[in-house]
Amino acid sequence: MKKYNVLVIDDERLARTLMSNYVKRIPQLNLVATLPNAVDATFTLQENDIDILLTDIEMPDMNGVDFVKGLQKNPAVIFTTAYSEYAVEGFVLSAVDYLLKPISFPRFVQAINKAINQIDSHSKPTMIVKGDAETNDKDYISIKADYKIYKVNYNDLIYIEGQSEYVTFHTKHRNITAYYALKNLELQLPEKQFIRVHKSYIVSMKYVEFIEGNVIAVEGTKIPIGASYKEEVVNFFKQ
């Protein structure tokens, strides 16, 4: 199992303890250190390969935003703070996520999942190939979510629903929500089996029941057809 090194910076002892406990509950994470200030963290970052940095913003001597601005290395940064007014500046710095205290464990896991996906996407080249029956021998898609890798057969995948930075895979057996871009999935899926019908939906042709106006029915679910996709969808059925 691949491990991701984590560094926690927070001037509040209770916050450090909470973050430490959260990190230790996730097997893929390795807690390198929990530190009370950014100055001490500078040396830790120089001596260790840190994958994920969890840092508070309001701290003495140097706040978390200024600290991240001066970093030589580029770990995946997750800001933690009790003050929502820092959110915009945090995202300007390309932070992976912004956690507003008090932080629940499910929200923490969500942020870590985003960080891991970002790290993995940057650590190796990704080749996206338009799949079809002639060029793609795989009959399934592998989905990384909830610290698992799900194998979903194309025949079991009903439709995919885009939700901001996430998508939900609606399958015959379960729904899986994961950090993916719908555009990349559109390129990856076999084009003879799946079609984009809306900016937020990709559907399996196997489960399409009918088209009525600007709606397509898929396995009992009515999904809107986007105006820019309507002609392509209709033409697909005329083939």
* pLDDT tens-place string over residues 162-195: 887 788 999 999 999 888 878 778 878 888 899 9
pLDDT reported for residue 129:
34
Q: Could you write out the DSSP letters of every residue in 109-126?
A: HHHHHHHHHHHHHHHS--
pLDDT score of 134 more than 90: no
Report the DSSP pairing between strands 215-218 and 97-100: unpaired
Q: What percent of the chain has pLDDT over 90?
A: 41
Domain ranges of the chain: 4-123, 140-238
pLDDT reported for residue 1:
66
Top-confidence residue, 148 or 152 = 152
Helix (H) or strand (E) holding 19: helix 13-24
pLDDT score of 78 more than 90: yes
Cα–Cα distance for residue pair 81/99, rounded to 1 Å? 7
Cα–Cα distance for residue pair 225/93, rounded to 1 Å? 36
Task: Say if CB 115 and CB 165 are below 8 A apart.
Answer: no
Q: Verify cis geometry, omega within 30 degrees of 0, for the bond prior to 102.
A: yes
40-67: per-residue pLDDT in tens?
Answer: 898 898 889 999 999 998 887 777 877 8
pLDDT reported for residue 94:
65
At residue 138, what is the residue type? Answer: K
pTM across the whole model: 0.52
Domain 4-123 has CATH 3.40.1260.10: no
In this structure, which topology does domain 140-238 adopt according to CATH?
Answer: OB fold (Dihydrolipoamide Acetyltransferase, E2P) (2.40.50)
pLDDT score of 90 more than 70: no
HEC string for 69-111: HCCCCCCEEEEEECCHHHHHHHHHCCCCEEEECCCCHHHHHHH
Q: How confident is the model at residue 91 (pLDDT cuts 50, 70, 90)?
A: very low
